[in-house]
Structure 1
Amino acid sequence: MRIKRTSLVIGIILIIWSSLLYISLSIRPIPSKDDEDVDHQIVILEQSISGEFERNNVIINRAQKLLELKKKAEHRTNLLAMELQNVKIPILVFACNRVTVNRCLDGLIKYRPDPDQFPIIVSQDCNHEETRDVILKYGTQLSLIQQPDQSDIQVPPKEKKFKGYFKIARHYGWALNQMFFNFNFSTAIIVEDDLEVAPDFFEYFLGTYPLLVKDSSLWCISAWNDNGKEGVVNVNRPELLYRTDFFPGLGWMLTKNVWMELSTKWPKAYWDDWIRDPAQRRDRSCIRPEISRTRTFGKSGVSNGMFYEKHLKYIKLDEEFVPFTKMNLSYLLKDIYDNDFVHKVYQSPIVKHQDLKDGKVEYNVPVRITYRTRDEYKMITKKLGLMDDFKSGVPRTAYKGIVTFHFEGKMVHLAPNANWKGYDITWS
C-alpha cells in the first residue's frame, strides 16, 4: 500500500515536472526591439565579412596574376641577358692626328664591362707618329689598324679647303670594310677620337641592340642628342629614348647589312650629310637618348668648330647608369611607337612658344607648339635654344616632323599640323 502511494506521488510529480518543462519550452518569449537591432547588426556584419572575403579573393587573384606576369617578364629578361652575353660588338675608333685620343680611349676602357664582348679597334689615318705612339701605349687593351692609302686626293678647285672631308670619307669607307668584310663582324659601334663616353655607354648599346636587329625600320642606334644641352633635357629621366628620322652620328651603331647596302655607293666626301639624304635613309629611323651618352671635346677639326661654341660644348653627358638590358624597350618598335607616342603628341594641349619661355604655361602634362613654315620653325627654335638647321629637310632629332625636348622640366613637342605630309627637302 505504501509502495503504491509512493509510486503515485512520484508519478504525479513527474507529470507536473513534465508539464512545466513542456510549457517552458513551448512558450517562446516575444523579442524586444533591442534584440531585433542586434540581429540586424549581425546580418550586416556577416554581409560585410562576406564582401571583404570576396574583395580579398579578387586582390589575391590579381596579385597571383601579376606575380605570374613578373615571373614571365623576368624569364624573358634572363633569356635576353643570356642571348646578349653571346653578342660581340666591336668599338671602331677613328683617329688621325689628335694626341688627345687618350681621353676617348681612357673612357672606353674604364667603362667597358668585358674586353672580349667589346673589343676596341682604333683605325688611324694621317700617319701621325705622336698619335700612333699614344695609341700603342695601351698595348693589348686594344688593336690598331692603319689606313694604308695616304695618297693625295684630287678635289674640285672650289672645294680645296674642304679636302679634309674627302680624306675622312675615304678613311671611313676603308675602315668599315675592314670591320665587316675582313674581320666579319655583324655589328659595330663607331666612335671618333674627340668623344668621351658616359658610364652606361656600353649598357645603352647592348640594351638597344635587339631593337636594331629586330626592327627593319631602324638603321642605327645613336648615343647623341643634337638638342642635348642641359637646359632642354630632363636630367631626372636618363632612361628616356626616342625614335628619330635625323641621323645623329657621334657614337652610333650599325649592322653589316646596312653597310653592305651603303658601301656600294659610298661618297667621296661629306659622308654624314650624304647618309641623311632620302635615297640613303629610305624612311628609316634611329634611336636616340634624352641625355647623350657621348660628348665631343673636339673644338678644332675639319669643321673648324662649327656649332661648338654655341651648342656642342653645352651638351649634357649622362652620369647615371641606366640598366637598359633589363628594361622592356619594345615601345620603341615602329608599330607600337607610332600608335602610342605620336598619338599622345597630337592629344597634348597646344601652347605658344613665348608663353612657354615666359613661364606662363600651367599645364602639368606634355604640351605642343605648332609650326607651319620653315621660317616659323627656325624662329621658335632660336628663341628656345634649340638647333635650328635642317638636313635634307629633316630638323635635328625630328620624328615625323616632331621635335621633342624638355623646357624647365616640362616635355614639349614642337610639331607640324596633324595632317603633315612629310619632309620638304627644300627646307634644307
Structure 2
Amino acid sequence: YFYIARHYKWALDYMFLIAEHDAVVIVEDDLDISADFYEYFAATYSLLYTDPTLWCVSAWNDNGKSNLVDVEGGGSILYRTDFFPGLGWMLTKDVWTELSPKWPKSYWDDWMRASEQRKNRACIRPEISRTRTFGKKGVSNGLFFEKHLKFIRLNEKSIPFSTMNLTYLLKDEYDDRFERRVQAAEVVSLVQLKSGNLPADYDYRIIYHTKDVFKKTTKALGLMDDFKAGVPRTGYRGVVSFTYNNRRVFLAPANSWKGYDPTWS
C-alpha cells in the first residue's frame, strides 16, 4: 500500500506538474477496458471543468453485476455518485494541485473518500462498467475478487457519448430530476421486491432508516453493503440505484435524511 501511494504521487506529479496535462485518466495494470472507454472519458472531460461540484469521472460501477444493471438499455446511462469508485478514473490538474501537497503515505483510495478530501463533490459513473478487473492476486483482492469483482459486467455495446448531450449530469439539472424520480417511485418492502410479482414498468423504492436495515437489504439483494466515511458505494444523496428482476429500484433513506453519518461503516 505504501509503494502504491508513492507511485501514484510520483506519476501524477509528473503528468500534471512537469508534462502539464489538463486531465489524466488512470488505469491500473489489471484492468480490461471496454471498446468505448476512451470515448466515455473524452465526452465527460468538459463536465469536470463546467461543474465545480464534480471532481472525478470513473469507469466503474461497484454494483455492476449483470443482475443489478440494465443490460439491454443501460449502456448510455450515467449517474452522479458521492462515492469515489476508482478503477479507471479521470481527474483534472486543479484537483491534483489540491491533493498533491497532502497526499497520504498509504491507503490513498480510502483517503480520497474521506469528507476532508471529497468536500461534498461527486463523481460521474456508468450504469454498466467500462472496466473490469482480472487481478485476483492484487494487493487487496483475493476472496473479494471471487465473491464480487469477477462478476462485474464489462460494457459490450459501444456508445457514442461524444454525440450526446450530457449536461443532464450537471448538478443543478441532475439533482432536481433525480429527486423527482426517486420520490415518484412506489415504496415497497424487501419481501415484495424479492417476490418477483411487481409490475415491470415502474420504479420502486425501498426505504432504510438505519445502518442495520441498509446492510440487511443490500446483503439480501447482492449489493455492496459497506460504507466509506458514511457513504455507501454508488450512493448519491444517500440513494443507491440498481435494477432487480429488470425493475429500477432505489434504496433510499427516509425523507428526514440530513446527510451522511461518518460513523456508518
Instruction: Indicate the TM-score class for this superposition, using the shorter chain for normalisation.
Output: over 0.9
Deviation at 1:362, TM superposition (A): 2.4
Deviation at 1:419, TM superposition (A): 2.1
2:61 counterpart of 1:213: no
Equivalent residue number for residue 178 of structure 2: 341
- Matched length: 264
Provide the C-alpha distance between the structure 1 equivalents of 2:183 and 2:257, rounded to a whole number of angstroms.
Answer: 12
Which runs of structure 2 are paired with 1:229-244 in the superposition (5 Å)? 229-236=65-72, 237-244=74-81
2:242 counterpart of 1:405: yes
Equivalent residue number for residue 129 of structure 2: 292
8 Å Cα contact 1:351-1:361 kept in structure 2 = no
Which runs of structure 2 are paired with 1:56-75 in the superposition (5 Å)? none
Deviation at 1:295, TM superposition (A): 0.2
2:22 counterpart of 1:186: yes
Q: TM-score if structure 2 supplies the norm length?
A: 0.98
Which runs of structure 2 are paired with 1:14-413 in the superposition (5 Å)? 165-236=1-72, 237-362=74-199, 364-413=201-250
Q: CA RMSD in A?
A: 0.9
Change (3 A) 1:331 1:304: closer
Deviation at 1:363, TM superposition (A): 5.5
Deviation at 1:360, TM superposition (A): 2.3
Provide the C-alpha distance between the structure 2 equivalents of 1:399 and 1:426, rounded to a whole number of angstroms.
Answer: 18
Provide the C-alpha distance between the structure 1 equivalents of 2:202 and 2:15, rounded to a whole number of angstroms.
Answer: 45
SS at match of 1:309: helix
The one-letter amino acid paired with 2:138 is G
More moved, 340-349 vs 213-222: 340-349
Deviation at 1:364, TM superposition (A): 1.9
More moved, 196-205 vs 295-304: 295-304
Q: Which has the higher helix share?
A: 1
Deviation at 1:353, TM superposition (A): 1.4
Q: Which runs of 4+ in 1 moved over 2 A?
A: none
8 Å Cα contact 1:242-1:287 kept in structure 2 = yes
Deviation at 1:418, TM superposition (A): 1.5
The one-letter amino acid paired with 1:411 is R
Unaligned runs of 5+ in 1: 1-164
Change (3 A) 1:261 1:306: farther
Q: TM-score if structure 1 supplies the norm length?
A: 0.61
The one-letter amino acid paired with 1:192 is E
Q: Which has the higher strand share?
A: 2
The one-letter amino acid paired with 1:207 is A
Deviation at 1:332, TM superposition (A): 0.6
Provide the C-alpha distance between the structure 2 equivalents of 1:234 and 1:318, rounded to a whole number of angstroms.
Answer: 11
SS at match of 2:55: strand
Provide the C-alpha distance between the structure 1 equivalents of 2:183 and 2:260, rounded to a whole number of angstroms.
Answer: 18
Provide the C-alpha distance between the structure 2 equivalents of 1:193 and 1:408, rounded to a whole number of angstroms.
Answer: 34
Provide the C-alpha distance between the structure 2 equivalents of 1:329 and 1:167, rounded to a whole number of angstroms.
Answer: 37
Provide the C-alpha distance between the structure 2 equivalents of 1:363 and 1:249, rounded to a whole number of angstroms.
Answer: 32
SS at match of 1:248: coil
Provide the C-alpha distance between the structure 2 equivalents of 1:372 and 1:329, rounded to a whole number of angstroms.
Answer: 33
SS at match of 1:243: strand
- The structure with the largest alpha-carbon Rg is 1
Provide the C-alpha distance between the structure 1 equivalents of 2:199 and 2:75, rounded to a whole number of angstroms.
Answer: 24
2:256 counterpart of 1:419: yes
The one-letter amino acid paired with 1:212 is L
1:78-132 deviations in Å (ceiling 9; x for gaps): xxxxxxxxxxxxxxxxxxxxxxxxxxxxxxxxxxxxxxxxxxxxxxxxxxxxxxx
Provide the C-alpha distance between the structure 2 equivalents of 1:245 and 1:374, rounded to a whole number of angstroms.
Answer: 17
